Structure 1
Amino acid sequence: MDTSTKLDPTTVGRRGAEILKQMQAHPLWERFTTSSMRYSPCWATYTGMPAISKFDLDRDGQPLLVEAMRALALKAAVYELTGGDEKISELLLPLPVDDMVHAVLAQHTVMSHIERDLGVLFPHDTALEDFAYHRGCDTDTFYAAAGWGGQPLRYWLDTVEVDRRIAHLNGLYGSVGIAAGGRGHDIDFDTMFTTATAA
């Protein structure tokens, strides 16, 4: 959701950067990052991450983790600065980064401890997500104000480009019986393995 508010980007960026630094200094940070990376076999989706050109989880996992943490820090800053407005806090994110946000939030216990200790909340509600990320939106402005340098465009893909890539991927998936962006397939494992065993 593009905020379209009068939030001062410098204030959001400064607070987001501060939240991220506090997270990195937290005693559970190493456990959090280690457990997040160990979870990588479960990250696979058919949409967000595969939209990255020549995607390789071993190479791209750590940089995506960095971007997800930055995104969550900005979302937490907006949530705090708007008095807990979940809708405004659901910043527009590119699908590959959003996929990683979901993977990070799966570390629920560690994240809950960090939230409690830092006195912040990392808002995320899929019902409020709007997959309309575009270059130049409020998220980009806040990111720049945080002082993290330029966003790696390998991951910060405009929604129009992601949609184009996913349409191509869906064609490829369909050729092997995988449909609806991975939400269904016509592979009959029951007969496949029964036949192979009988032979």
Structure 2
Amino acid sequence: MTVTTQPDPVAVGRRAAEILAGIKGDEEFERLEESTKLYPDCWASYTGYPIIAQWNEPVDKHPLFVEGLRLLALKAAVYELSGGDEASAELLASAPVDEMVHAILAQYTVANRIQDRVGMKFVHMTDTERWGYNAGDYTHQCYTAAFGAEPPERYWIGKAETARRLAVLRERYDSIGIRDMGKSHNIDFGLPALV
């Protein structure tokens, strides 16, 4: 996969705003939103949402849904304007926003129908995603061009601060027996050890 030059942020912003309006105006938008928020236990993680200070799912799920949709619209715009370059479209993101993208795209059938009706492609591949967002970067420039506002700092956490918060979480998780950022633990639930 060859990476092209990323399209002009103003052009991306203009197209992303159109895409987002199309998604929000779609006949199944409400179902997409409700379904995404319905089962938070299925989209909880140890590394994405928990880096939000004083994370509170009932309070944070709506603004995160908004940010996840915005990121998907930006990525779809870059994908389209770059001639289908998936690598260019995998924008640097903040971990919590990226986690919400996973939750939105888990609504697979309705997401596919929406993208077909709106005439765009949702872009997201975990083999190319990177939690490298920083204020002022290309993603930030596209975001402000598209939405006329700054990304909310509560959810759009920069790369260095993400690393710092992940280190805090790792230490706390380790202290209660949760290892490798939730990939393993030493809790036996009172059962005999596996051989």
The TM-score by the shorter chain falls in which range?
Answer: over 0.9
Shift of 1:8: 1.5
Match of 2:49 in 1: 49
- Report if the CA contact (8 A) 2:4-2:82 is conserved: no
Structure 1: gaps of 5 or more residues: 193-199
Match of 2:30 in 1: 30
Structure 2: gaps of 5 or more residues: none
- Report if the CA contact (8 A) 2:75-2:122 is conserved: yes
5 Å-filtered alignment, 1:55-134, equals 55-134=55-134
Residue by residue over 1:133-157, the C-alpha shift from the partner in whole angstroms, topping out at 9 and shown as x without a partner, is 2121100000010134121100000
One-letter amino acid of the structure 2 residue matched with residue 138 of structure 1: Y
Partners of 1:8 and 1:169 in 2: how far apart?
Answer: 37
Cα pair distance change 1:77/1:154, threshold 3 Å: same
Partners of 2:19 and 2:6 in 1: how far apart?
Answer: 21
Shift of 1:179: 0.3
Shift of 1:86: 0.3
5 Å-filtered alignment, 1:101-180, equals 101-180=101-180
Match of 1:196 in 2: none
Q: Tell me the TM-score normalised to structure 1 length.
A: 0.92
Residue by residue over 1:17-44, the C-alpha shift from the partner in whole angstroms, topping out at 9 and shown as x without a partner, is 0000011110000111111110222121
Mean alpha-carbon deviation: is it higher for 158-167 or for 130-139?
Answer: 130-139
User: How many residues of Structure 1 are paired with residues of Structure 2 in the alignment?
Assistant: 190
The two structures, once aligned, show a CA RMSD in angstroms of 1.4
Shift of 1:129: 1.2
Partners of 2:99 and 2:67 in 1: how far apart?
Answer: 11
- Once superposed, which parts of structure 1, at least 4 consecutive aligned residues long, lie more than 4 Å away? none
Partners of 1:42 and 1:148 in 2: how far apart?
Answer: 32
| % same residue | 46
Shift of 1:88: 0.2
One-letter amino acid of the structure 2 residue matched with residue 112 of structure 1: N
Q: Tell me the TM-score normalised to structure 2 length.
A: 0.93
Partners of 1:99 and 1:21 in 2: how far apart?
Answer: 22
Match of 2:181 in 1: 181
Partners of 1:121 and 1:7 in 2: how far apart?
Answer: 16
